Amino acid sequence: MSTQQPAGPLYATAAVDLVKVYGTGATAVRALDGVTVGFTRAEFTAIMGPSGSGKSTLMHCLAGLDTATSGQALLGGTDLTRLADRVLTKVRRERIGFVFQAFNLLPQLTAAQNITLPLDLAGRRPDPELLDYLVTALGLADRLAHRPSELSGGQQQRVALARALVSRPEVVFADEPTGNLDSASGAQVLALLRDAVRDLGQTVVMVTHDATAAAYADRVLLLADGRVSGELDRPGYDAITHALSGQAAAR
Ligand SMILES: Nc1ncnc2c1ncn2[C@@H]1O[C@H](COP(=O)(O)OP(=O)(O)OP(=O)(O)O)[C@@H](O)[C@H]1O
């Protein structure tokens, strides 16, 4: 990750002078105030910062879930801000993986069907080796025939993670993926995200408030007031909490 020159093949996803203003006139909120940042391929980045600093907005713009006011949201060489809705939907489905705090599984489908749903929609078959690796690594082998209501929260999030990873998307965006999990389940999800980066070359961008979760990442990007305020390289828990308390003191 770098805050310099984000265009180019090195970056899986990048923001270039990204601005997002919600509303108009006196009530307008400048959620992103000119963010330029690149996310290197095969790297795990955590985005942190105070509530309202623009973390979710940045992720949503980069993932094509929200439209920027100006600037570029690049996925590889594609500027998502220039795509028509129909094309954007296809890009999201075929090139991006998502893991949210709410697991967003379809209740009527089994775990196995939920995992392969995005590939099925795209008319693609899962790579059997990758599917096997993910199901085993996530401890889901004996849960594949279960529906979400028959699974624990941790198991549901692991199904959502397998679904996000099985299509080898260019980027996995994770928004507080451990927010609803107990610490053991959360650690399992974070370890698999880290391993997917190390072993599969997956690019992962995760928004989190949790320094323990962020310590799994290779880099931490700090936002404040809609701008990039800092970046930490392979920080541990202490370095992250120190940077966050520095941010709080500066406010
Ligand atoms: N749909 C919206 N309409 C109006 N304002 C919005 C909207 N979404 C976000 N905002 C505002 O934009 C700013 C950035 O919000 P954002 O959700 O990106 O912050 P965040 O860092 O993710 O916060 P949190 O940690 O609380 O989730 C905030 O001031 C927020 O109130």
3-state secondary structure of 62: helix
pLDDT digits (tens, 9 = 90+) for 123-172: 899 999 999 999 998 999 999 999 999 999 999 999 999 999 999 999 99
What is the reported pLDDT for 2?
47
Alpha-carbon distance 240 to 220, whole Å?
Answer: 8
Confidence of residue 249 (pLDDT cuts 50, 70, 90): confident
What is the reported pLDDT for 246?
84
Q: Cα of 137 to ligand 1 centre, how many Å? A: 35
| Ligand 1 pocket member 51 (CB < 6 A) | yes
Q: Is the pLDDT of residue 100 over 90?
A: no
Pocket probe for ligand 1: among 48, 51, 223, the residue whose CB has the most ligand atoms within 8 Å is 51
Q: Is the pLDDT of residue 9 over 70?
A: no
Q: Cα of 216 to ligand 1 centre, how many Å? A: 25
Q: Is the pLDDT of residue 3 over 60?
A: no
pLDDT digits (tens, 9 = 90+) for 54-72: 999 999 999 999 999 999 9
- Collect all residues with Cβ–Cβ distance below 8 Å to 156 and sequence separation of at least 6: 103, 105, 148
CATH superfamily for domain 11-250: P-loop containing nucleotide triphosphate hydrolases (3.40.50.300)
pTM higher than the cut 0.90? yes
Alpha-carbon distance 31 to 127, whole Å?
Answer: 39
Is-contact 10 3, C-beta < 8 A? no
CB atoms within 10 A of CB 107: 8
Query: What is the average per-residue pLDDT within 204-231?
Result: 97
| Ligand 1 pocket member 61 (CB < 6 A) | no
Distances in Å between the Cα of 172 and the Cα atoms of 7, 23, 42, 88, 151 are 19, 29, 11, 16, 23
The residue ranges of every structural domain in the chain are: 11-250
| Ligand 1 pocket member 29 (CB < 6 A) | yes
Pocket probe for ligand 1: among 21, 53, 100, 175, the residue whose CB has the most ligand atoms within 8 Å is 53
What percentage of the chain carries pLDDT values higher than 70?
96
Pairing of strands 204-207, 171-175: parallel
Pocket probe for ligand 1: among 18, 19, 22, 58, the residue whose CB has the most ligand atoms within 8 Å is 22
In the chain, DSSP assigns E strands to 11-22, 29-40, 44-48, 70-75, 78-79, 96-99, 171-175, 204-207, 219-224, 227-233
What is the reported pLDDT for 207?
97
pLDDT digits (tens, 9 = 90+) for 11-50: 999 999 999 999 999 999 999 999 999 999 999 999 999 9
Backbone phi and psi for residue 234, each to the nearest 5 degrees, phi listed first = 45, 55
Q: Cα of 64 to ligand 1 centre, how many Å? A: 16
What is the reported pLDDT for 7?
52
Angle, vertex CA 18, rays to CA 173 and CA 32, nearest 5: 80
Regarding an ipTM greater than 0.95, the answer is yes
What percentage of the chain carries pLDDT values higher than 90?
81
Alpha-carbon distance 244 to 236, whole Å?
Answer: 12
